Amino acid sequence: MENQIIDKVIALCKRRGFIFQSSDIYGGLSNTWDYGPYGVELKNNLKRAWWKANVHGRNDMYGMDAAILMNPKVWEASGHVKNFFDLKSECKSCNKRFKSDDLAGKTKCPECGGELGEARPFNLMFETHQGPVKDAANIVYLRPETAQGMFVNFGNILDARHPRLPFGMAQIGKAFRNEITPGNFTFRTREFEQMEIEYFVSPDKAEECHKEWVDARFNWYANLGIKKENLRLREHGTDELAHYAKACTDIEYNFPFGWSELEGIANRTDFDLRQHSQASGKELSYFDDAKKERFFPYIIEPSGGVDRAVLAFLADAYHEEKVKEDLRVVLKLSNELVPVKAAVFPLLKNRPEIVEIAKKLAADLKKSFYCTYDDTGAIGKLYRRQDEVGTPYCITVDVQSLEDKQVTMRNRDSMLQERIRIDRVKTYLLEKLYA
């Protein structure tokens, strides 16, 4: 059943324009995906909700948008150049590489049966060159995480905004990892987007702060509509922790392919600021006026994936039900995340006066939220299309509208319909959508 659900979600994503295989007409490129008209709306709404909760909704957070390309010394100081690798074996026949952990002692290629070479470390960072000359002096990397861009700007934020501890920096941005991916749709890809916070706190407050962020991030997913029974917390054992981390808790989601990480909240201690301060020679410590002492703050890092979150919300919202003899597919997304807030249809597209009212109403609603106009099918078919993309309300202009100046408003979840005066439609929707 689980595999059937992911297959249905993937089919829906392509059918309705959420997510497409990248470069599809050329056979695609493995584990790369393009977000279509509805997918990019969902993705942007998700990022907007995250930014609203974690930046605009707080007095202790500063937004960032650091560059993807950074001085390679950043990645030397962080340990990525030396330590960010997987042990992989390469097939001598087809040249495909496989993680040693996934081979479970096999000596033959899982793809072609060829002989596997000895396991060797492969760095996960994408490497490129800056400028026209391709040599070792011009090597740069596509960042494997957004975090380092915030760490190296710690001093700039202190100088520009003069914050007091605790405070944080937040960023949404692309990251890249040249790793072998298992192929669970958009769950793990080489190019992905992160929603990441680096929250700086005095060492004696770090443990308490870590718990507060775990609770806050768990509740964020639940408040946006993910069923609590599909969420759980998992603390990392000491053997799982990165060498710089004191603690880490994952928020896991029960994906159709099993429980997997949705977001991790780590206590990174003072490793990052101390490391960059030593490597750069720049002062990245914090002076506490009240205590009259200087120290490196501890860092609490909630780090989640945009693409994973989109997949989790899609899977959780996917719903099937029987309506008479038909199967009805509905995406029961929250009003905050749903791509389209309302859709307007003319019941008869060959009646210019009805079409004119419908188009005028849609244009007016677009000033307040994303609304779509559609006259490309029978009314029943149009309802089903909007159900599949999660549109909460459908509005139909009919012949009677010409006389009573009312339209039919249909609710996605209940399918109940009611007549609403045209001049009341916007107020009605604003009350329902943003209650």
Q: Specify the pLDDT at position 59.
A: 95
Are residues 50 and 163 part of one domain?
yes
Between the CA of residue 7 and those of 26, 256, 321, 399, what are the distances in Å? 22, 9, 17, 41
In a domain, 154, yes or no: yes
Residue 220 in contact with residue 234, Cβ under 8 Å? no
Residue 245 in contact with residue 268, Cβ under 8 Å? yes
In a domain, 335, yes or no: no
Are residues 309 and 349 part of one domain?
no
Q: Is the dihedral of CA 153, 156, 161, 165 positive or negative?
A: positive
Q: Specify the pLDDT at position 1.
A: 43
Q: Does the predicted model carry a pTM greater than 0.75?
A: yes
Of the three residues 279, 314, 349, the one that is the final residue of a domain is: 314
Give the orientation angle of helix 352-366 with respect to helix 425-433, to 10 degrees: 40
In a domain, 117, yes or no: no
In a domain, 77, yes or no: no
Are residues 50 and 156 part of one domain?
yes
In a domain, 99, yes or no: no
Are residues 363 and 278 part of one domain?
no
Other C-beta atoms closer than 10 Å to the C-beta of 257 total 16
CA distance 54 to 240: 28
In a domain, 369, yes or no: yes
Residue type, 153: N
Q: Specify the pLDDT at position 2.
A: 52
Between the CA of residue 427 and those of 327, 349, 432, what are the distances in Å? 33, 26, 9
Give me the tens of pLDDT residue by residue for the chain, a chain 435 residues long: 455 888 999 999 999 999 999 999 999 888 899 999 999 999 999 999 999 999 999 999 999 999 999 999 999 999 888 877 777 788 888 877 777 777 777 888 888 888 888 887 777 889 888 887 777 678 899 999 999 999 999 999 999 999 999 999 999 999 999 877 666 898 989 999 999 999 999 999 999 999 999 999 999 999 999 999 999 999 999 988 888 899 999 999 999 989 999 999 999 999 999 999 999 999 999 999 988 999 999 999 999 999 999 999 999 999 999 888 889 999 999 999 999 999 999 999 889 999 999 999 999 999 999 999 999 999 999 999 999 999 999 999 999 999 999 999 999 999 999 999 999 999 999 999 997
In a domain, 90, yes or no: no
Are residues 275 and 344 part of one domain?
no
Domain that holds residue 174: 2-70+144-314
Are residues 174 and 48 part of one domain?
yes
CA distance 74 to 125: 13
Of the three residues 260, 279, 314, the one that is the final residue of a domain is: 314
How many domains does the chain divide into?
A: 2
Other C-beta atoms closer than 10 Å to the C-beta of 202 total 16
Question: Which CATH number characterizes residue 58's domain?
Answer: 3.30.930.10
Are residues 363 and 233 part of one domain?
no
Are residues 307 and 373 part of one domain?
no
CA distance 157 to 168: 10
Q: Specify the pLDDT at position 182.
A: 62
Are residues 271 and 167 part of one domain?
yes
In a domain, 375, yes or no: yes
Question: Which CATH number characterizes residue 368's domain?
Answer: 3.40.50.800
Spell out the SS3 assignment of the chain.
CHHHHHHHHHHHHHHCCCEEECCHHHCCCCCCEEECHHHHHHHHHHHHHHHHHHHHCCCCEEEECCCCECCHHHHHHHCHHHHCEEEEEEECCCCCEEEHHHHCCCCECCCCCCEECCCEEEECCEEEECCCCCCHHHEEEECCCCHHHHHCCHHHHHHHHCCCCCEEEEEEEEEECCCCCCCCCCCCCCEEEEEEEEEEECHHHHHHHHHHHHHHHHHHHHHCCCCHHHEEEEECCCCCCCCCCCEEEEEEEEECCEEEEEEEEEECCCHHHHHHHHHHCCCCCEEECCCCEEECCEEEEEEEEHHHHHHHHHHHHEEEEEECCEEEEEECCCCCCCCCCEEEEECCCCCHHHHHHHHHHHHHHHCCCCEEECCCCCHHHHHHHHHHHCCCEEEEECCCHHHHCEEEEEECCCCCEEEEEHHHHHHHHHHHHCC
Are residues 358 and 289 part of one domain?
no
Are residues 276 and 207 part of one domain?
yes
Are residues 256 and 167 part of one domain?
yes
